[in-house]
Amino acid sequence: MNVSVIGAGLAGCEAAWQLARAGIAVSLFEMKPGSRSPAHVSDDFAELVCSNSLRSDELTNAVGLLKEELRVCGSLIMSSADANKVGAGGALAVDRAGFARTITEAIRSEPLINVIHGEVTTIPEGVVIIATGPLTSEGFTPALARLMPDSFLSFYDAAAPIVTAESINMETAFFASRYDKGDADYINCPMNRERYETFVDALIHAEEAEVHGFDDSGVFEGCMPVEVMARRGIDTLRHGPLKPMGIIDPRSGSDRWSYAIVQLRKDDSAGTLYNLVGFQTHLKFPEQKRVFSMIPGLENAEFVRYGVMHRNTYINAPKLLDRYYRLRTEPRIRFAGQISGVEGYVESTASGLLVALETARELQGVTPLNLPAETALGALAEYVSTSPAKDFQPMNINFGIMPGLSVKIRDKRAKNLEISKRSLNILREKLGK
């Protein structure tokens, strides 16, 4: 009994790990180091390329619930994230290099997982989990196109720039977390109204890099380039990634907020690199240097990575997949990760975990888990398999795709916490834990 998993990103590694834990041999195909997508720089598996943040870790947030469900299920990705955590207030952020290295070592040391390097251009025989990610290689894309003609969709997202900590002017910038959550893990660059409006004007008129086939309307909302947001109106940024609410300069002796604030988050555990939060962009590199250096505190910033745009590909999942992420026309073929129509690192991990759990049970003749939509794992599976195919878009986990409670609770946080408790109780009962 052997399952082929194509792609050693977060979804593929999680799927391979869960299958091996169930006693099933896995052939894990990974094109690195011989070939790389435009967004990858390391030879390690499960490389994070968009952001170091895995978002909220609180049970009052749907992604916090999804992460806890993954922990309950014994997720390799979550145990590796927890082992490589860096400070980020109420969010889970990781040392990206350490995170990928931990996963790579675990996968390579698992005797039931055989890693096969090289680009796959045809779909293997037998049971296959395709987890090639949003940057599926040009060599493999034709095989998918033959499998499902006219069923591909694509969009673009963007990666934010990274600067060195020592180049940030801390006489202007300061450490603080929003509403004092966490341990003041973010570096904050405050702007008054004049500086903010000057910055927005420069951003709007900065020269963009040409991205083949790019269309602002095709960008996933959660990764919208900062210059695209700026074009929506003068106040869009300060009500979005530059919102000042809840951030107080500890040096001011005042509880007044700035007019706008740019936040930077650790990109490594040593705190030598910082990511500009929400500053995904497709500006030309010299323009990024010029415009982002206008941010107070970043006048002399050293950019170790500029923002880049990259193409994401996903399938029209509701048209093609069932609730087990299986291709309806050829059930031996399953999908996981962002190519399946989920959006985000945590969601990709979740799809990889669930497709592996259900695949293992199927191969072993065990009743499917059939996780209901009252769980975050089940809700994602239902979303990608039952949404209207005509208008299908990738989706982050949110409480809106989960059934409400039978009792009305006015307080939003209290309500969300009860939904999370319900979900975890159902999951543990299903797993016999």
The answer to whether the beta carbons of residues 10 and 101 sit under 8 Å apart is no
113 contact partners, CB below 8 Å, separation of at least 6? 16, 17, 20, 25, 26, 28, 107
* Domains of the chain: residue spans and CATH: 2-151+316-431 (3.50.50.60), 159-310 (2.40.30)
> Residue 260 burial by CB count (10 A; 0-12/13-18/19+): exposed, middle or buried?
buried
The answer to whether the beta carbons of residues 120 and 6 sit under 8 Å apart is yes
CA torsion sign for 163, 169, 175, 177 is: negative
pLDDT for residue 305: 85
Query: For helices 193-205 and 285-292, what crossing angle results, to 10°?
Result: 170
User: Mean pLDDT for each 10-residue chunk of the chain (433 residues)?
Assistant: 95 98 98 72 83 82 97 98 88 91 98 96 96 87 84 73 93 90 85 97 92 55 83 95 92 83 86 89 94 97 84 87 96 96 94 98 97 97 89 84 90 94 98 91
Q: Cα-Cα-Cα-Cα dihedral of 334, 25, 132, 347, to 10°?
A: 70
The answer to whether the beta carbons of residues 157 and 324 sit under 8 Å apart is no
The answer to whether the beta carbons of residues 159 and 308 sit under 8 Å apart is yes
Pure H helices in 127-220: 141-147, 193-205
pLDDT for residue 215: 54
Strand partners, 30: 117
Pure H helices in 84-225: 96-109, 141-147, 193-205
The answer to whether the beta carbons of residues 172 and 293 sit under 8 Å apart is no
Please state whether the predicted TM-score (pTM) of the whole model is above 0.85: no
pLDDT for residue 156: 66
* H/E stretch holding 401: none
39 contact partners, CB below 8 Å, separation of at least 6? 49, 50, 135, 159, 308, 310
pLDDT for residue 39: 61
Q: Are strands 308-315 and 174-176 parallel, antiparallel or unpaired?
A: unpaired
pLDDT for residue 157: 65
Pure H helices in 40-132: 62-72, 76-83, 96-109
Q: Are strands 85-86 and 91-94 parallel, antiparallel or unpaired?
A: antiparallel
Which parts of 22-176 are beta strand (E)?
A: 25-30, 53-56, 85-86, 91-94, 113-117, 128-130, 152-159, 162-164, 174-176
pLDDT for residue 239: 94
Give the tokens for residue 45. Answer: 């598996």
The DSSP line for 311-352 is EEEEE-HHHHB-TTSBBTTSTTEEE-SGGGTB-SHHHHHHHH
